[in-house]
A = this chain, B = another copy of it.
Amino acid sequence: MPGEVPADTPPPAVHGDFSSAERRAVYRAIHERRDIRSHFVPDPIPDAVLGRLLDAAHHAPSVGFMQPWDFIVIRQESIRRAVHECFLEANLEAARAYCGEQRALYDSLKLAGILDAPVNLCITCDRARSLGAGLGRHSDPATDLYSTACAVQNLWLAARAESLGVGWVSILDFDRLRAVLEIPESIVPVAYLCVGYVSEFPAKPQLETAGWEHREKLGQLIHFDRWGCQDKQRNAALLAATGEV
């Protein structure tokens, strides 16, 4: 059966192994997570569920245990309308990069569910947070932003497990967004998310189904020991279980 672990190399038993059912559930969340734009339903999100999502985000890894994130929970419709304006303006601008068929396809895509989703979340990064005392940030100052993106992904996977869809809106006039949400200068809005229950979780990413882009072969992206050292045989050994080879 595809995907079985070779029986001859058992890992050491440690306390806290996941059962195979638990492991499958984790992979299920990873593989069935979708970037949701057009399938939101208006049902409210219970506070306890939203709290679990935020708690999941707060348990992301962070450089030096800096925990640089904040969470703005946006439910008020007037605010969501103002953010929607930030999207419309930026989207008009972004659309200009495309022409002909590609422009028609771009215009047909629904790229944000700001007004449809009952909860919007802005996840920010405080570049000046003193927690962690700078540990791990000396070599690459962007690591706090990466930590914040990891928090987004934790929340996204938890949301999938809660049957909640999440869409990351990256097309926004961020200066206007800062003004709308009154975000101080030193704080970077990393992700603006729309969160809500959905009518369905599509089987594939919207941009794949719409013909905007295909999923790259994973084997194309794997290098061994040094950049550019690619190896079909070694790929085959790695990827036999994933169904790609």
Contact = CB atoms under 8 A, between A and B. Distances in A.
**Copy number of this protein in the oligomer?**
2
A88 interface: no
Given A5-B5, A6-B48, A213 B11 contact: no
A23 B21 CA distance: 11
Contacts of A59: 30-31, 33
Contacts of A161: 18, 22-23, 26-27
A171 interface: yes
Contacts of A63: 168, 170
A201 B14 contact: yes
A90 B50 CA distance: 40
A133 to B, nearest CB: 7
Contact of A242 (B17, B52, B66): B52
Contacts of A23: 2, 5-6, 25, 161-162
Contacts of A73: 222-225, 238
Prevailing SS type, chain A contact patch: mixed
29 contacts: A4-B48, A5-B46, A6-B46, A7-B27, A7-B242, A11-B32, A14-B199, A16-B200, A18-B29, A22-B24, A22-B161, A30-B56, A31-B56, A33-B59, A48-B240, A55-B239, A58-B221, A64-B207, A70-B222, A72-B223, A74-B225, A106-B135, A124-B227, A132-B207, A143-B170, A145-B146, A146-B190, A147-B149, A183-B227
